[in-house]
Structure 1
Amino acid sequence: MSVIKALIFDFDGTILDTETAWYEAFREIAREHDIELTLETYGQCIGTSLHVFDPYDYLITDQKVPMDREMLHKDVHSRHTRMMAEEGIRPGILDYLAGAKQLGLRIGLASSSKRSWIDKYLAQLGIGDYFETIRTAEDVELVKPHPALYELALQDLGVQPNEAIAIEDSPNGARAAAAAGMHYIVVPNPVTTFLAFDGEPHRLQSLEELSLQALLDGIAAK
């Protein structure tokens, strides 16, 4: 029987859907140049760094879009900012955070993004105080799907891998949690729902589908 002592959340796409806006921003620009940027192609970089697939290089170098990287970067970020103005915290997240705190569970965050990015949105959402540890790209040599981010968060919280649940939205994030030896569930967003996940993970359309207590009871019963 597993006794769960901690929840560790991914950020982008899990707590706040920043990922759909990134994809839509790149896809809009690509279409303006008669290029179809498929989700299958773009999805390689979701939940990890741009080392696997760099959409900037793809458009400029491979597809010959007549823009330099700085110009493209500004255009993408401008569109992303506009789209994110309408985005709120994903359903069920607040209930899970509040429920975990009430139950005395440790709460962490592990993200492949930079700390400044995370801090910006946690402040906007007003949820930063929930997290006892926040591990980001600056803390590791390899981001997800490598398990290092989760391993550090587990160490910080003083729990074993089988005593923690990762909340993820992407295949790369799920691979990182699995490699760290954790329990995990996936709650895909409108972009990652079309990506292929390894195995048959516990998958929800929204955290509102399953209460935290029901999740804990289900894992304890295994």
Structure 2
Amino acid sequence: MTNTLLLDVDGTLVDTNYHHAVAWVRAFGSAGIAVPAWKVHRSIGMGGDRLVEAVAGEHVEAEHGDELRKAWEHEFEPMLREIRPLEGAHRLVTSAVSEHGLHVVLASSGKREHVEHYLDLLDVRDAVTAFTTSEDAEDSKPAPDLLQVALSHVDTERAVVIGDSVWDCEAAKRIGLPVVALRTGGFGEAELREHGASAVYEGLDNLRADLADLPFATV
């Protein structure tokens, strides 16, 4: 029986959530829109198509959405050289494949060039079966579209979602897949469980030790 890990990337494999939050705060500021950083951070994990409205309201999305997304990209791009893998990321992916015979699909809503950069940074190109980017679905998390696209790239019988945010949990729940969460995105254990996580781990090495016992479900 073939099992698949549907792995989120930002905040799960690479330590980017706070960089994203800073870039968004600066982007809003460049348009003269003051938003609290904590509120931005709480929305990281959504795609940029949803975040503006979630943080600043429908009227800001209507008037400034595309402008803000371009400003975010301008602010985030120089930070790419600061991004580092989270501890244990390479070990998790390679162990899942070589020791447990799992497929690994990266279910990301990041820009293609960013995901490509992370693949090289993590040194997992040879281990990953497929990956998604923002180009692959019109609606981002918490919508389940990207997870469904990710599943379409692999011949599998069972799968589990691994993520770091409540938005990953919500997306998995909407298509009936189990989700295991990590605290690496800054969300607390209680709220991750409240949104559907069956288990919550402090780090990737802790998760790797339990790969054989993850709650895979039929897709």
TM-score, normalization: structure 2? 0.75
**Paired residues of 1:42 and 1:53 also in contact (CA < 8 A):** no
Distance 1:36 1:133, change over 3 A: closer
Distance of 2:139 and 2:27 partners within structure 1: 30
Distance of 1:164 and 1:200 partners within structure 2: 14
Indicate the residue corresponding to 1:23 in structure 2.
21
Gaps of 5+ in 2: 61-66
**Paired residues of 2:96 and 2:102 also in contact (CA < 8 A):** yes
Alignment of 1:1-222 (within 5 A): 5-27=3-25, 35=34, 37-44=36-43, 46-54=44-52, 58=56, 69=67, 73=70, 77=73, 80-102=76-98, 103-160=100-157, 163-193=158-188, 196-197=191-192, 198-212=195-209, 214-217=210-213, 219=215
Gaps of 5+ in 1: 63-68
Which residue identity does 1:143 align to in structure 2?
S
**Paired residues of 1:187 and 1:206 also in contact (CA < 8 A):** yes
- What is the CA distance between 1:150 and its match in structure 2? 1.4
Distance 1:193 1:81, change over 3 A: farther
Cα RMSD for the two superposed structures: 3.4
Distance of 2:50 and 2:8 partners within structure 1: 19
Distance of 1:47 and 1:124 partners within structure 2: 20
**Paired residues of 2:137 and 2:145 also in contact (CA < 8 A):** yes
Select between 125-134 and 105-114 the one with higher mean Cα deviation. 125-134
Q: How many residue pairs align between the two structures?
A: 205
Alignment partner of 2:183: what SS?
A: coil
Residue deviations 1:139-163 (CA, integer Å, cap 9, x gap): 2232221222212222321224xx2
**Paired residues of 1:20 and 1:189 also in contact (CA < 8 A):** no
Distance of 2:5 and 2:51 partners within structure 1: 29
Alignment partner of 2:96: what SS?
A: helix
Select between 168-177 and 17-26 the one with higher mean Cα deviation. 17-26
Give the number of the structure whose alpha-carbon radius of gyration is greater: 1
Select between 117-126 and 104-113 the one with higher mean Cα deviation. 117-126
Distance of 1:147 and 1:89 partners within structure 2: 25
